[in-house]
Amino acid sequence: MIVVAGRPELAQARDALLGSVAVVMTMGALHDGHAELIRTAVRSADSVLVTIFVNPLQFGAGEDLDRYPRTLEADLAVCEREGATVVFTPAPEVIYPGGPPVVRVTAGPLGEVLEGASRPGHFDGVLTVVLKLLQLTRPHVALFGHKDAQQLAGIRRMVRDLDLQVDVVGVPTVREPDGLALSSRNRFLSPEQRASALVLSRALQSRDVGAGRALVAAEPGVELDYLARVDSTTFTNHPDGDLLVVAARVGTTRLIDNLALADTATTPDRKR
């Protein structure tokens, strides 16, 4: 496995890759959900390029950019164990050499609802860095997790609207045996808060917006942001939507989750 941090080194490593190339973009603090992305990538392409970059552009004022876990040594061990070919670990000045970019991708209406409404500018920052990393890594396939369903929908729309030559593949959410969706932010939860966080998956499993909201409201220490039934491509509210989405703050930790309501919406989640 080759680890590179600069643009010239990445270009050299990428040019040396033969056959099809898959990219897995992460912000580090890798868990088994990320490992599943890499494993799926290994099955999907001849070479796998993993990026580890905490993107400041997608964090708003007062969000947890400085607090976000950085565990590079452990992350590299996961990448090597799962079969990554190249790992790109740039500093912010490598991705944004002139400082914050003046020209950015806009997520449009998709970036203004639900997660986008709660975190203004978040999806613009996500799509901007994804586009830059696609340009730098030049993959044939890019893999993203279903847990970040609105992000995945935005990336797919960007690829379609901007005629990007990459196949975007969604990978099922990986859950703990008790149903908690894996997240790098789970490490911030105390044992009591982790137990409370299970209400998110229970609310989704109710498959009813009203019942789910009632479950979350009754759970001490959990503050609901939204729980809605939406169309999985536009993320607009729809009574017959094919996706339930939820976001809540457990203590000071913000968590998201979702559940497909139609067999054609996503592949079923996987338990560890």
Which one is catalytic: 31, 34, 140, 238?
34
Same domain, 124 and 210: no
Active site residue 146: no
Query: Do residues 151 and 193 share a domain?
Result: no
191-205 and 209-217 helices, crossing angle to 10°? 160
At 267 the pLDDT is 58
CATH number at residue 118: 3.40.50.620
Residues 66 and 201 in one domain: no
User: What pLDDT sits at residue 262?
Assistant: 76
Pairing status of strand 243-250 against strand 222-230: antiparallel
Same-domain status, 23 and 109: yes
Residues 12 and 112 in one domain: yes
51 and 125 part of one domain: yes
Give yes or no: residues 246 and 195 share one domain.
Answer: yes
Contact 237, 228 (CB under 8 A): yes
Distance CA(29)–CA(185), nearest Å, equals 9
Q: Which of 116, 136, 171 is the last residue of a domain?
A: 171
Question: How many separate domains does the chain show?
Answer: 2
CATH label of the domain that carries residue 214: 3.30.1300.10
Q: What is the pLDDT along the chain (272 residues), one digit of tens a residue?
A: 999 999 999 999 999 999 999 999 999 999 999 999 999 999 999 999 999 999 999 998 878 798 899 999 999 999 999 999 999 999 999 999 999 999 999 999 999 999 999 999 999 999 999 999 999 999 999 999 999 999 999 999 999 999 999 999 999 999 999 999 999 999 999 999 999 999 999 999 999 999 999 999 999 999 999 999 999 999 999 999 999 999 999 999 999 999 999 754 445 688 88
If asked whether residues 110 and 206 sit together in one domain, one would say no
Query: How far is 10 from 3, CA to CA, in rounded Å?
Result: 9
Are 224 and 113 in the same domain? Answer: no
Which of 171, 200, 220 is the last residue in one of the domains? 171
Expressed as residue numbers, the domain containing 153 is 2-171
Same domain? For 208 and 239 the reply is yes
Nearest CA among 187, 229, 181 for reference residue 206: 229
Dihedral through CA 233, CA 174, CA 171, CA 228, nearest 10? 0
Which of 171, 186, 220 is a domain's end point?
171
User: Are residues 208 and 132 part of one domain?
Assistant: no
Same domain, 120 and 215: no
